[in-house]
Amino acid sequence: MQLAEDLGIKVERRAIPEEELETFEEAGACGTAAVISPISRIDDPATGKSYVFGDKPGPISEKLFKTLVGIQYGTIEDKHGWTRVVID
């Protein structure tokens, strides 16, 4: 969420009604493993309906992923102090 805001992307934290899924151009997931994964499809087994978002990451997902990996590898500035150098 912070990376999206840093890139000027509007961020909302809310429940998504299933009917709204058909309006999405992209979908993704992120978690404590510090990775961003695009979602290509969501299936509703109760209704048999599928919501398809493409077969490859969209431009927003790609930008978020590249930014996060750049921060992790030190090629993009870590403005938030998320990374630590570990030396043996």
Counted domains in the chain: 1
Tell me which residue range forms the domain holding 37: 2-73
| Per-residue pLDDT reduced to its tens digit, 59-82 | 999 999 999 999 989 999 999 999
In-domain check, residue 83:
no
| Per-residue pLDDT reduced to its tens digit, 12-22 | 999 999 989 99
Q: Which token pair is 78?
A: 């870590």
Phi and psi angles of residue 52, each rounded to the nearest 5 degrees, phi first: -110, 130
The secondary structure of residue 45, as a DSSP letter, is T
Predicted TM-score (pTM) above 0.75: yes
Predicted local confidence at residue 86, as pLDDT = 87
In-domain check, residue 13:
yes
